[in-house]
Chain A
Amino acid sequence: AMEEQRGPRIREGDCAVLKRDDVFKAVPVLRRRKIIFEKQWFYLDNAIGHIYGTTFEVTSGGNLQPKREVEEMTTETKEAGTDNRNIVDDGKSQRLTHDDIKALKDKGIKGQEIVQQLIENSTTFRDKTEFAQDKYIKKKKKKYEAVITIVKPSTRILSTMYYAREPGKINHLRYDTLAQMLTLGNIRAGNKMIVMETCAGLVLGAVMERMGGYGSIIQMYPGGGPVRAATSCFGFPKLFFDNLYEFPLSKVDSLLSGTFSAETLPSEPENNMVAEEESNRLSDKKQTSLQETEEESAAEVATENNQTEEQEAMDVNAEDVEFKENKGKENKENVREKQRKQWERRKKLIETAALLQEKNADGVIVASKFHPTPLLLTLLEFVAPSRPFVVYCQYKEPLLECYAKLRERGGVINLKLSETWLRNYQVLPDRSHPKLTMSGGGGYLLSGITVVLDKGKADSSNLEALKLEEPSLKRCKVQELHC
């Protein structure tokens, strides 16, 4: 009964995150599927049913076993040196050979015992300082004690994971920068948000998490459809998707000029996206299909840049084929289903267009690979006055231009160009200091607040605004005319 109160359990079909020290990897929880993580392979079968946050040991044969809290080994006679004046690197301080260690491992001896043996067979260990002994044990533990923790996905975990593993997929948006965006954009339940991102759906997922299923989100997308690989890793309940809309960027201009028609949709999304949509649609009938979608996308994340790529990609393909074969069996229904799908897509597009045309959105978030200026100048048209907007760019220069163009346009105040630096610390008794390395670049943000734009005298009010906010800017503008 006590156990029942203790948090959510790992279920088959979940998207979970594996954690070892500071390394994360998102994986679908499936039976009999080999996972490779941090040079170890194992199966998640035994993890199913345990509580999220459980730490497991990898046993021989790739099984997971919950790690029992073991008393830290305290060397009874704590001997240590005071300095390293007599420690000589002769390469012979470890009496165990590579073969000996391998033999221990092959025998299935636990990591902890191997570490103990290494210590006992190190001739210099006792002469090392207490701090050096600590460091030695930590290093060996990391190498020989195969423990992994399975955690529930969150913006914190997924944004950290993406920045470490796939920075290119998220335009090098560092997690602290994403955190700023969510705060500067006043993202919260009940908002009507416009999101334009090419960050694999991570920014969208972060916004969805903060809105908790309340309010609505309109995702603007380039090309054939939005990418939501990272969004699926969050494992959101289905109702979070009920008020998630999408609108093609290529239709924005016609929407603003009043020539919009839902008849010509942008080119059909690629195959896997159709599959995703289809399985989304089917989820009314089949509870598990949303999970399948998540699994596929999660697998995508997990496989990128990884040794397991081939194997898992094959698995996904196999599932795809199976999926399609099943569909092929009912061909007629297939055609009807396709038409129904097309019709529904169009209906949702018209709904989305109507939402945008109200021009009362509660904010805009932009984080994409595209030049931010045209995006922002256009998307701001859909935003109510006195609402925040935030644009991310990996580079500073496009935001300088964007800043200038926004000033020309007017209708915005409190413009701020900023970045954040993030510094991590090692905190240990008598050994506290900043970590050796820190991230050099996490991108830049341009943020501001919309105000009522009086169109009649846009020019004069603009000059006034310049005078009001930054006297030197007026001069700069005049100088620019000489260029």
Chain B
Amino acid sequence: MSFVQYGDTIKDGDTAIVFLGHESMFPVKVQHGTVTQTKYGVIRHSTDLIGKKFGSKVTCSKGGWVFVLHPTPELWTMNLPHRTQILYSTDISIITMMLELKPGSIVCESGTGSGSLSHALIRTVAPTGHLYTVEFHQQRAEKAREEFQEHGVEHLVTVTNQDVCKNGFGVSDIADAVFLDIPSPWEAIGHAKSALKAEGGRICSFSPCIEQVQRTCLALEEYGFTEVNTLEILPRVYNVRTISLQIPDLGKAAETDFDCSNPSNQSSPCTNLQQGTVQFKSGVPVREMVGHTGYLTFATKS
């Protein structure tokens, strides 16, 4: 396995995702002789994982079981060790499309942070593209390098430990796209412009506060970027539930005029007279949703 290529069976050294149930999973590094504890008991890597197919059900020592999944950037985003605040897949999706990324694209990114976006970028630009990512925090930069190596993508990424606002991306006239997720992106717009190819390219900046967006937009205009556009994307997740509502007693006779369509159609609402209820399927929004991650400002160098 690698993060840029599917494999069928689990091998020594792979990263796998142990799926315990709804929204409950964690990554493991598969190693001969190692064991992993779960609430369903122990998983022995040598016998329970190595040689098994990704997607298999693995029975743990207490008789409970889990699924073992092939890693993807999306699963990694949900399970990675946080060293910073991270970008989630909803934002990552629109960033990838609006930056027009595809195999072969050269991308510059700063900061690397926990590498959530980095993995998704690498996935998209492989096998012929490259990611130049800049992180001013030395430990984070080193940790990111280690992870890229473990995940078999080190040939697709260069991690540089420097301050992007002072020293830029370390490359010039090479990038098709630039992404900024730093506290003062307006200070890096000039560097972004010189990192982009002379023929042009796309830029995106992520900022939580509107004041940051204001300054970024002014800087973008100052440096001659066009098509400046700020947007926000909000994910809404629904739980699928069968709901039953009670029919009010209005003192009427047993037969109700509350006729609910064809009973042979399972998905349509149906009445249960004995219980005095009507049932239907509904997509219920989760109780608490993400209201704001950040504003995404896109622009074109032409």
With A427-B217, A427-B297, A432-B210 as contacts: A385 and B55 at CB distance below 8 Å = yes
| B126 within 8 Å of A (CB atoms) | yes
The answer to whether B96 touches A183 (Cβ under 8 A) is yes
Contact with B along A188-222 (1 / 0, CB 8 A): 11110000000000000000011111100000000
Kindly state whether residue A103 has any CB partner on chain B within 8 Å: no
Give Cα A413 to B241, complex, Å.
17
Stretch at the interface among A75-83, A114-122, A301-309, A444-452: A444-452
Majority SS of interface residues in chain A?
Answer: mixed
Is the pair B5, A468 in contact by a Cβ cutoff of 8 Å? Answer: no
Bound together, the chains give a CA A180 to CA B197 distance in angstroms of 28
Looking at the complex, which one of A184, A414, A454 makes contact with B57 (CB distance below 8 Å)? A454
Cβ-based interface call for B138 (8 A): no
Q: A397-B267, A425-B230 are in contact. Are A212 and B283 (CB under 8 A)?
A: no
Known contacts A386-B55, A388-B72, A413-B67: A479-B97 contact under CB 8 Å: no
Also in contact, A452 and B56, with CB within 8 A (given A176-B94, A183-B93, A432-B213): yes
> Is B74 an interface position by the 8 A CB rule?
yes
CA distance A384 to B282 in the complex (A): 30
Say whether, besides A191-B6, A385-B53, A424 and B94 are in contact (CB < 8 Å).
Answer: no
Interface size class of A (residues with CB under 8 A): 35 or more
A459-483 interface code vs B (CB 8 A; 1 in, 0 out): 0010010001110110011011011
Q: Are A400 and B282 in contact (CB under 8 A)?
A: yes
Closest CB in chain A relative to B42 CB, distance in Å: 18
Interchain nearest-CB distance for A148 vs B (Å): 14
Closest Cβ of chain A to B20, distance in Å, is 8
Note all chain A residues with C-beta closer than 8 A to B213. 425, 427, 432
Is B208's CB within 8 Å of the partner chain A? no
The answer to whether A422 and B238 have CB atoms under 8 Å apart is no
Q: From B231, which residue of chain A is reached at the shortest CB distance? A: A424
Specify the chain A residue showing the minimal Cβ separation from B260.
A483
- Secondary structure at the B interface, as helix, strand, loop or mixed, is mixed
State how many angstroms separate the Cβ of A370 from the closest Cβ of chain B: 16
Whole-angstrom distance between the alpha carbons of A472 and B240 in the complex? 10
Count chain B CB atoms within 10 A of each CB in A178, A182, A396, A451 and give the residue with the most: A451
The verdict on A418 contacting B96 (CB below 8 Å), with A7-B199, A385-B56, A386-B70 known, is no
Please indicate the chain B residues that have their CB under 8 angstroms from the CB of A464 in the complex.
65
- Render B62-96 as a binary contact track against A, CB cut-off 8 A, 1 for contact: 00010111101110000000000000011011101
Contact between B238 and A425, CB atoms less than 8 A apart = no
- Taking a contact as CB atoms under 8 Å apart, the answer to whether A183 and B92 are in contact is yes
Tell me if A156 is interfacial: C-beta within 8 Å of chain B: yes
Provided the pairs A7-B199, A385-B53 are in contact, do residues A420 and B103 lie with their beta carbons within 8 angstroms? no
User: Per-position contact with A for B220-264: 1 when CB-CB < 8 Å, else 0?
Assistant: 000000001111111111111110100000000000000000010
| Closest Cβ–Cβ distance, residue B127 to chain A (whole Å) | 6
Name the one of B6, B74, B92, B103 contacting A387, with C-beta atoms under 8 angstroms.
Answer: B6
Chain A contact residues, CB within 8 Å of chain B? 5-8, 51, 53, 154-156, 159, 175-176, 178-180, 182-184, 186, 188-191, 209-214, 360, 362, 384-388, 396-397, 399-401, 403-404, 413-425, 427-429, 432, 444, 449-452, 454, 461, 464, 468-470, 472-473, 476-477, 479-480, 482-483
Report 20 cross-chain contacts, Cβ distance below 8 Å, ordered by A residue. A7-B197, A155-B100, A180-B93, A186-B73, A188-B126, A212-B128, A360-B8, A386-B54, A386-B69, A400-B283, A404-B240, A417-B238, A417-B283, A425-B232, A432-B210, A432-B213, A432-B214, A468-B21, A468-B22, A476-B242
Show the binding face of B for A, using Cβ within 8 Å.
4-6, 8, 19-22, 53-57, 65, 67-70, 72-74, 89-90, 92-94, 96-98, 100, 102-104, 120, 123-124, 126-128, 197-200, 210, 213-214, 217-218, 228-242, 244, 263, 266-267, 270, 272, 275, 279, 281-283, 295, 297, 300, 302
